[in-house]
Amino acid sequence: MIIHYGYENLKILNPVVTTGIFDGVHRGHVALLQCLKKRAAELGGESVVVTFHPHPRIVLAQDHQGLSFLSTMDEKTVLLESAGIDHMIIIEFTREFSLLGACDFIRKILVGKIGTKHLVIGYNHHFGKSREGDFVTIEQCAGSFGLDVERVEGFYTAGMAVSSSNIRNMLLEGSTEEANNILGYNYPISGVVTEGRKIGRTIGFPTANIEPSEQYKLVPARGVYAVEVKVGDSVYPGMLSIGSNPTVNSDPLKRFIEVNIFNFNDDIYGNIITVIFRKRLRSEMKFSDISQLASQIEIDRQEVLKFFS
């Protein structure tokens, strides 16, 4: 996949284009991308995804509290490439760009700069100033510039439309396995291993404290999880805790992300590792003392081992 930063001086053969944020690149997105690739092959062209960075909500929202997304730009790039897309165009999203109307976006950028011949959009996709460009508007504007538009119907599973917002809600509720099923892969978070309080090692469960690499990367609900941990080129099973550690910490507003990596003793402070969420075991709990906490962690460990076996 060829990555373009901006839309100047592009040389793309008969571009067949889709546009959007593609947060998470979930199964619904993949269905649309398969349609895009099929249409590009039929028209003798190349498949093109136009996306935006930073996320428009980061630029336009007055309050960033609670703002979170399923994928970083690096993760999105890997997922789009694995889907077999030929070109990815990343447009810088600014307040000035947000004022561009739907018809102007089609005329100036999709047709004028990219040379789009065929546009594929999702069933509820909008673009342009204040999201004014619904399918009817897009189709009318595109037609005046000789651009064909195709709408792909929504992707459903278990009677529910697959959407990034639904998946975000699932993860925030701790429904990890359901979210992974709709994503089409297991949800990851990457981050730097930082110095912790080293309480875990005093009770036989040393942990790596993780600081997520991306500020707006969604962190799932508080609790204990079975995870896979990618360190370099190796992957290990582990158990991960998200929460304030109420047994040893009096501040409920604090949030720690700590992972106990099974069969691993290397010093990885300062390294970037990736945790891959597989199953939520339980909610966060407060115990009367450290010994009770250690007993519960051993129960958690056995459940994780059983899960991976």
pLDDT for 65 beyond 90: no
Please state, as a whole number, how many other Cβ atoms lie within 10 Å of the Cβ of residue 202.
Answer: 11
Q: What is the DSSP string of 177-233?
A: HHHHHHHTS--EEEEEEE----HHHHTT---EEEEESSTTB----SEEEEEEEEETT
Q: Which residue has the higher pLDDT, 263 or 286?
A: 263
**What is the per-residue pLDDT for 159?**
74
Give the domain ranges of the chain: 2-161, 187-308
pLDDT reported for residue 142: 85
Express each pLDDT in 180-236 by its tens digit. Answer: 999 999 999 999 999 876 666 666 688 999 999 999 999 999 999 999 999 999 999
Q: What predicted TM-score, i.e. pTM, was given to this entire model?
A: 0.92
Give the pLDDT confidence score for residue 133 in this predicted structure.
65
* pLDDT for residue 286: 81
Residue 130: its pLDDT value, please?
64
Question: What is the arithmetic mean of pLDDT over 149-169?
Answer: 87
CA distances (Å), 238 to each of 163, 204, 241, 269, 295, in order? 29, 14, 10, 17, 17
Tokens of 62: 């007055």
Mean pLDDT for all residues in the chain: 91
Q: What local confidence, expressed as pLDDT, does residue 198 receive?
A: 64
Residues 6+ apart with CB under 8 A from 178: 170
Q: What angle do CA 80, 150, 128 make, to 5 degrees?
A: 75
Give the whole-angstrom CA distance, residue 40 versus residue 42.
5
Higher pLDDT, 64 or 28: 28
Average pLDDT (19-39) is: 95
Specify the pLDDT at position 216. 95
Q: Scan for tokens 């998470």, then name that residue.
A: 24
Question: What pLDDT, on the 0 to 100 scale, is given for residue 287?
Answer: 84
- Of the candidate CATH numbers 1.10.10.1590, 3.40.80.10, 3.40.50.620, 3.30.230.10, the domain formed by 2-161 belongs to 3.40.50.620
Task: Note the pLDDT tens digit of each residue in 227-270.
Answer: 999 999 999 999 999 998 877 776 777 889 999 999 998 999 99
Tokens 């690149």 belong to: 25
**What tokens appear for 142 in the block?**
């595109």
Q: What is the pLDDT of residue 137?
A: 83
Q: CA–CA separation, 32 vs 162, rounded Å?
A: 12
Find the mean pLDDT for residues 171-185. Answer: 96
Q: How far apart are CA 289 and CA 248, in angstroms?
A: 8
CB atoms within 10 A of CB 82: 12
pLDDT above 70 for 295 = yes
pLDDT by residue (tens digit) across 83-132?
999 999 999 999 999 999 888 999 999 999 999 999 999 877 777 776 66
CA distance 280 to 176: 6
Q: Ranked by mean pLDDT, which of 27-41, 58-72, 144-158, 235-249 comes out on top?
A: 27-41
Report yes or no: 218 and 69 within 8 Å, Cβ to Cβ.
yes
Is the pLDDT confidence value at 160 over 90?
A: no
Superfamily of domain 187-308: Riboflavin kinase-like (2.40.30.30)
| 95 membership: H or E segment, kind and range | helix 95-98
Least confident of 69-83, 251-265, 270-284, 295-309: 251-265
132-141 residue pLDDT tens? 667 788 888 8
Higher pLDDT, residue 156 or 170: 170
